[in-house]
Amino acid sequence: MKTTLRELYRGPLTVWVEDRVTHAVLTDVWGDPQINVLVGDGKAGVTHMVNASPPGLHVYGVVDRDFEDDNAAKWTSPGCRVLRLPAHEIENLLLDFDVLASLSGSEPAARIRKLAHDHAQKMRFWMICCRVLWDMQRDLGKGFPERPPNPTGLQSLDEVKRYLENSAYWSEHGVAWQRWRQGGVRSPWIDAACNELQKHLDNDEWIRSFSGKEIFRFLRSNVSGLDRTPARPPQPSSSERDLNLAKAIARMMREVGSSPPVFVELRQVLRKKAGLT
């Protein structure tokens, strides 16, 4: 049993990821015994574990882009320790329709692609709502009070009360809350998200910008031959079925040499950051 962080960080390079799918995919397509991939349970967990890592160790994080911009242009910067993928979620990078057709054994790539695109069309309003909610959450959470910098700086309950009361967050949050609660303010954000996502649907960008997790699960459930998880007690969860398909895709990508270039670049950048040749 590992009881310290240093015991956890075996090998010359450790990479924290958000979930089991990312762990399975990167472990398989990289096939690199010098990279120790660990699951941090979400983006916040990955960021925390990277920041909490003992000094002198090569510890980095890989996370989904979600609605943020990716930071691929900064990957090689020494200060970049959490690398955001150039896709909404890692499942987007598994939407290789030729590979999915091979795994299916009965459905052609063009039909699987059309099924995915049609489903993305049906998700459009959900994606618009999720995008605007993300913008609202980012604005409303801005400036949330930080912990007092000095652990011994507060000497009484009155000082605790004053520290909390004097935060600029209360006035700033109040202004932001009043702004967002007005429909006329939300409408331009809704319209902007609608226009952007519709443009993505009109070209190939939807494959990267829509929720890959939802499209991936839809295809797994609706394309013959993709869900090969045995249906025996106890019944496997949707997450287990998704994980098994992700493993199958990663395995085939490695075998036929069709892994997304970003996976290759990511491995090269991380190894270089750790000083590995």
Q: What's the rounded mean pLDDT across residues 102-122? A: 97
**pLDDT tens across 197-221, in order?**
999 999 999 999 999 999 999 999 9
Do both 109 and 223 map to the same domain? yes
Do both 64 and 144 map to the same domain? no
Q: Which amino acid is at 102?
A: S
Do both 12 and 102 map to the same domain? yes
C-beta of residue 97 within 8 angstroms of C-beta of residue 114:
no
Mean pLDDT of the chain: 93
**pLDDT tens across 169-181, in order?**
888 888 888 888 8
Do both 138 and 111 map to the same domain? no
Range of the domain at 172: 127-180
Q: What's the rounded mean pLDDT across residues 123-152? A: 90
Residue 190, domain member (yes or no): no
Supply the DSSP string of 2-39, one letter for each residue: --SHHHH--SSEEEEESSHHHHHHHHHHH--TTEEEEE
Q: How far apart are CA 178 and CA 176, in angstroms?
A: 5
Query: pLDDT-based confidence at 1, cuts 50/70/90?
Result: low
Query: pLDDT-based confidence at 141, cuts 50/70/90?
Result: confident
Do both 77 and 37 map to the same domain? yes
Residue 14, domain member (yes or no): yes
Do both 71 and 24 map to the same domain? yes
Do both 19 and 144 map to the same domain? no
What pLDDT does residue 169 have? 87
Do both 226 and 261 map to the same domain? yes
